[in-house]
Structure 1
Amino acid sequence: MRSFFRFIKNLLLLSLLAFGVWSYQNNPDIHTATNDSVAVLKQKIGQFITTGNLQLPQAGDTHTQSPNKTQFSSSESVTKTSNRRWPNATAKVYLNIQNNPVLRSASIDAMNAWNRTGAFNFVQTDNKSAAQIIIGVVDDSDTSAAGETSTTYNPVTGHLLRAKVNLNRYYLQNRWYGYNQNRIINTAEHELGHAIGLDHNNGVSVMYPKGSVYTIQPGDIKAVQKLYKEK
């Protein structure tokens, strides 16, 4: 009887191992996550042997967009990237916006706008723990930002791990700042641009840092395509 249970145990272990190998070979998300984990493990072992210290995941820059009105450039310049990117040109997004239909709708419209470019694909999920990007709302007069995005990334691979987007209703839904629905959507597009690796652009670009007057431009699409084409 003991031999029988040992046989069943070994059979289950072999089945789990076979399933793991199959998942690694056929599921790109698991494949990428495994490779990232191995790279991090190698880096941490080497770092610990050399210095006796371990490096934690890095927090990326916090990007903000000002609501201030300003004089805008009429020339298009190249949209820069942070060189940090998701493993693939797709990310799961959770909308942590339950009681603000205006900003929720704007966030969905912004995701759809990026999806229509074909350069990146946002997938909305109802599972917050499975989301890579979380979009929320704040009501904060102490900051000058109408939108803000913070990211964390893997310091070895440069892959983004998490992104958090906050839309500031204090500015976006305050009539004194002149935001109509199109400008609110532009703000959400801008912050999602940061969430996938784009930096500010002082030309005609959705990544212009002030005013939210531009939607996604051809230069923005090219920047995302270039970022996610590079391996």
Structure 2
Amino acid sequence: MKKLLRVIFYIPKLLLRFIWNLIWAIFKLALILAIVGYGLIYYANNSSSTLATNINRAFRQVELGFSGTNTSDVEKVVSNLSTTDTIPESNGARWAQNTASIYIQSTDETLVAAYKEAITNWNKTGAFIFTLTDDASTADIVATDYSDANSQAAGLADSQTNILTNRITHVDVKL
């Protein structure tokens, strides 16, 4: 009789153990995914790398999916965005490479000398390489003169940034 009861209770016991192990495995997997997700969100919000930008964009797409926003509405908004725009501050934007070409449009010899000295000094750091060019239309940076009695600025820079990639596409520097 004891053996019969063992056999009868063995199957439910085995089934309960299987269910418990399955629930525990799902819990551990959810915990690991939550930790990895938190790590990715933290990295995406605290780094300016291309990978972080792409991760941030993916999380925004997931948020849009959960918020119930109609995909066609999102597509309309994105299609109306310009890929380049002037923004008031850099917001972590940077050049796609650590090089840029400069066209010096200034005719003032003092300013031309100042631009060239600044280029030489930056190039000596090795952090970024500027090259002079003779063609303003292909230059990444155009350096010009600026005179405004109402401004107290010694210099201004108007930058254009690709909003989707957060990369600087063109800068007009004015001294």
Which AA in structure 2 matches 1:59? T
TM-score with structure 1 length normalisation?
Answer: 0.42
Partner Cα separation in structure 1 for residue 137 and residue 122 of structure 2: 23
Map of 2:106 onto structure 1: 97
Map of 1:54 onto structure 2: 80
- More helix by percentage: 2
Map of 1:115 onto structure 2: 123
Map of 2:142 onto structure 1: 134
Structure 1 runs (4+) deviating above 2 angstroms are 46-53
Q: SS state of the match for residue 102, structure 1?
A: helix
Which AA in structure 2 matches 1:108? K
Partner Cα separation in structure 2 for residue 48 and residue 159 of structure 1: 26
Higher relative contact order (CA 8 A, sep 6+): 1
- Whether contact under 8 Å (2:146, 2:155) holds in the other structure is no
Max radius of gyration: which structure? 2
TM-score with structure 2 length normalisation?
Answer: 0.54
Which AA in structure 1 matches 2:93? R
Number of residue pairs matched by the alignment: 103
Map of 2:37 onto structure 1: none
Quote how far apart the aligned CAs of 1:60 are: 2.5
Quote how far apart the aligned CAs of 1:111 are: 0.6
Give deviations 1:164-186, integer Å, cap 9, x for gaps: 1100xxxxxxxxxxxxxxxxxxx
Stretches of structure 1 that go unaligned for 5 or more consecutive residues are: 1-45, 63-80, 168-231
Which AA in structure 1 matches 2:106? I
Aligned-CA RMSD value: 2.1
- Cα distance 1:86–1:108, how it changes in 2: closer, same or farther (>3 A)? same
Map of 2:160 onto structure 1: 152
Quote how far apart the aligned CAs of 1:108 are: 0.3
